[in-house]
Amino acid sequence: MAAFNPLPIDQLIKRLDPPKAPIDMVLDTDTYNEIDDQFALMYSLLSPEQVRLQAVYAAPFHNDRSTGPEDGMVKSYDEIVRLLKTVNVESDGFVFEGSRSYLPDGETPVDSSAARDLVKKAMARPDDDPLYVCAIGCITNVASAILMEPEIIRKIVVVWLGGHMLTWPTTREFNLMQDVPAARVILDSGVPFVLVPCMGVASHLTASTYELEACIGGKNELCNALCELFAAYSDNHFGWAKEIWDVAAVSWLIHPEFTQSELEPSPLLSDDCRWSRDARRHPIRVVRQLNRTAIFRDMYTKLIKGR
């Protein structure tokens, strides 16, 4: 394991306080994997009074929408660029390709433009003004950056949608179980870390085609694109709702008052993706509850307003 130099506990706890706007943020996202990353990306971009988005990193993924992690990352990169065009945002120097594979172990980083850019941006931060790293895919890019330059753990705060509640029987969740070594780097390094669990927390952020059409349908090109993307995810919309999980992570940064969270010792992660506790470990912040209505109203309002 790489040698880390974490913040003293009192400073770490202070850094885990909910942020006070405006903050600088980078977003790490497997945007082509599902339909929720697109909402999270646009919500971040359209919230400049709360977060100033500095860069977007394409994360790898592998499921039935990709042939492997590299293909998933490339497709996500292209999807980010496509979405940014709908709001006339230039992608050059703003969107970066991420890892083409998962970590081979807990000590070896995977080099990428995204990891290098994160190191560069983090190391340029003043000691008292961290860069917030919001990750809504597997955590490979962020873990690689930490392994490349361990000193960045004193310069960043990582907010990650990954795993399930610490009381859940298993934490076999897509983002986490793709790259367990990377998740362990985040959990064990002492980096200031906010965990946004999926089942039991982000799983409350559901929407339906009927709601989207009623709230944002026909409002502008971006809203129509998101409605069409959402509707295409299922061929039977009757009584159907879909989690827009990834909005949960950015919502903690945009409006932390819409969430409830508390400090917990950083959990241990087993090879078979189960949590265990050790009260002697350093603290992290764990989101426990979300105000679904407040979050969606704010997001819909900003999507309608556009840029």
Supply the CATH number for residue 201's domain. 3.90.245.10
Structure tokens at 201: 């927390």
**Listed residue (142, 168, 161) closest to 253, CA to CA:** 161
Q: Is 147 inside any structural domain? A: yes
Amino acid in the structure at residue 148: M
Q: Is 71 inside any structural domain? A: yes
d(CA 195, CA 248): 10
Which residues, including other chains, have CB under 8 Å from residue 25's CB and lie 6 or more apart? 44, 51, 52, 53, 54, 131, 132, 133, 134, 253
Computed over its alpha carbons, how large is the radius of gyration of the chain? Answer: 18
Q: Is 60 inside any structural domain? A: yes
Q: Is 221 inside any structural domain? A: yes
Q: Is 4 inside any structural domain? A: no
Q: Is 189 inside any structural domain? A: yes
Q: How many domains does the chain have?
A: 1
Structure tokens at 1: 């394991």
**Listed residue (196, 145, 199, 190) closest to 170, CA to CA:** 199
| CA-to-CA dists, residue 116 to 75, 224, 236, 280, angstroms | 20, 35, 43, 33
pLDDT digits 0-9 by tens, 269-289:
999 999 999 999 999 999 999
Structure tokens at 83: 């979405």
Residue 1 pLDDT: 57
Which residues, including other chains, have CB under 8 Å from residue 94's CB and lie 6 or more apart? 55, 56, 84
Mean pLDDT (10-residue bins), the chain, 307 residues: 88 97 97 96 97 98 97 98 93 98 97 98 96 98 98 98 97 97 98 98 97 97 94 96 97 98 98 96 98 98 92
Residue 2 pLDDT: 72
Residue 307 pLDDT: 73
| Kind plus residue range of the DSSP H or E element containing 161 | strand 156-161
Q: Is 292 inside any structural domain? A: yes
Burial class of residue 93, CB neighbours in 10 A (0-12, 13-18, 19+): exposed
Range(s) of the domain holding residue 172: 9-305
Q: Is 72 inside any structural domain? A: yes
- Which single residue is written with the structure tokens 């990750």? 135
pLDDT digits 0-9 by tens, 111-164:
999 999 999 999 999 999 999 999 999 999 999 999 999 999 999 999 999 999
Structure pTM?
A: 0.97
d(CA 201, CA 204): 6
| CA-to-CA dists, residue 50 to 2, 8, 53, 105, 126, angstroms | 34, 28, 10, 36, 19
